[in-house]
Structure 1
């Protein structure tokens, strides 16, 4: 069977390394490629699939577009409006989003089992996914920290629909009250000198960046003795869930993380 990751640009993707490692572990003679694909070409591509195609990982900028091109979708996709996984079965396309449960699993692996409050840096699609993820872990309130509040409207809608009390703060005017979890969905250098104040006001830190690692925020957390979850942890856990959806077999996130680290080291 054939699988692939779709997106643009796609050459940097670690998905091929992880999924191929999973197939080797499971003894499956499957292939997994990286396919450069623009939004305008996605619909045509999806209508021309052969019987030997089983599924796709989907990355930027296709996550939102693909959610509108499938036959069926999970509740998470319906809530978020974007998907990172497509499974092909009997010529029908089914979409899911493993970023959300992957984030929950990555947090639990690091000992973060319950989150009542979270501060999320950023207001885009990843921030929305993380807001939904913490709602699944019992969160009651979330603070979105952005430079332009108008760009956080989508994440606010997702968080409120998940039952969270939402506040929006401006990064340059931020006052840091205590939270259970600090999540960064912004570039590594975006936090600047605020990173120490942000870290000491949180019981755990989740930085979705994975390269280069460690980020300044992660380094500050480690110095402060605050548990850190990385973007690579998220990547491995969401990929393991994708493998299970596509193959029907479970695989180890730890093994996939190792394959991703080996690929990064070889670059």
Structure 2
């Protein structure tokens, strides 16, 4: 008996740049599943209406900005990581239930381990949205004890402060002119076109590595400032790939920790897709 066609999609606004469809389609090809994965432009305030229009053929959704917090009151259950950071990037439809998961923390932790395997104690985070909360949790898992947050609107960073308190991480929040001190890493959670970042000193940009969750356009505006200073830059493709494979585990087996059949082959196919080679 053939596997039924199941539908999935990534939602957000803007969404045209997303590489999630390419990654997920590559994964389901390797797994031999006839699943459809698309994308949909869904702006703030439109998520409830979108969900109400789905039928039983839908298996799940990937969420990007501005929906990772808007989904929370629409969920019938959620994992511990979602509760910790107050944001979900994954929705699973399971026997009439709408379940939420956060795979961003896992993706960020894996990315940090790959590009910065050394000791981390202090970090500068650019931005204060839902992804910043996930990055904060990943940094705490890597041993970071103190963060400085530079945000366009510092007064909107209450959610991030709450997460830091839960994790026992010291946090200071300010604008983009804030003194970053001496961080071990700078993490940008800003959109790729955001110009903030050029105000940081030449010394900081040349000596402290940047981890930028953006990947399109590339280099991002922030990464461009680091490259101009001769600094080390890591793009968000690593996080994208690792959070996506955790999503595939959820959609296929209902559990972000359940290893996929031929997971090495799936991961290789997703890496090729992320680079536009499939």
TM-score with structure 2 setting the length: 0.83
Question: In the alignment, what sits opposite 2:269?
Answer: 255
Q: Tell me, in whole angstroms, the C-alpha distance in 1 between the residues paired with 2:96 and 2:201.
A: 48
Displacement after TM superposition at 1:26 (Å): 1.7
Q: 2:130 aligns with which of 125, 129, 133?
A: 125
Displacement after TM superposition at 1:73 (Å): 0.3
Displacement after TM superposition at 1:225 (Å): 7.5
Per-residue CA deviations over 1:7-54 (Å, capped at 9, x if unaligned) read 233333211111101111222111111123344443244345433221
- Using a 3 Å threshold, how does the CA distance of structure 1 residues 44 and 121 change in structure 2: closer, same or farther? closer
Displacement after TM superposition at 1:223 (Å): 7.8
| Paired residues of 1:115 and 1:139 also in contact (CA < 8 A) | yes
Q: What is the alpha-carbon root mean square deviation over aligned residues? A: 2.6
Per-residue CA deviations over 1:149-183 (Å, capped at 9, x if unaligned) read 32322212211221101112332242x43222211
| Paired residues of 1:179 and 1:201 also in contact (CA < 8 A) | no
Per-residue CA deviations over 1:76-132 (Å, capped at 9, x if unaligned) read 211222211001111111101111110011111224354221111222222222112
1:170 aligns with 2:175: yes
Displacement after TM superposition at 1:195 (Å): 5.6
1:95 aligns with 2:100: yes
Larger % of helix: which? Answer: 1
| Paired residues of 1:70 and 1:94 also in contact (CA < 8 A) | yes
1:50 aligns with 2:64: no
Displacement after TM superposition at 1:222 (Å): 6.0
Q: Tell me, in whole angstroms, the C-alpha distance in 2 between the residues paired with 1:34 and 1:211.
A: 16
Question: In the alignment, what sits opposite 2:23?
Answer: 18
User: What 5-or-longer segments of structure 1 have no aligned partner?
Assistant: none
Q: Tell me, in whole angstroms, the C-alpha distance in 1 between the residues paired with 2:250 and 2:227.
A: 34
Map of 1:198-217 to 2, 5 A cutoff?
198-202=204-208, 204-215=209-220, 217=222
Structure 1 SS opposite 2:74:
coil
Map of 1:142-161 to 2, 5 A cutoff?
142-161=147-166
| Paired residues of 1:141 and 1:165 also in contact (CA < 8 A) | yes
Q: Tell me, in whole angstroms, the C-alpha distance in 1 between the residues paired with 2:120 and 2:49.
A: 42
Displacement after TM superposition at 1:72 (Å): 0.5
Question: In the alignment, what sits opposite 2:257?
Answer: none
TM-score with structure 1 setting the length: 0.86
Structure 2 SS opposite 1:56:
strand
Structure 2 SS opposite 1:65:
coil
| Paired residues of 2:149 and 2:173 also in contact (CA < 8 A) | yes
User: What 5-or-longer segments of structure 2 have no aligned partner?
Assistant: 1-5, 254-259
| Paired residues of 1:106 and 1:229 also in contact (CA < 8 A) | no
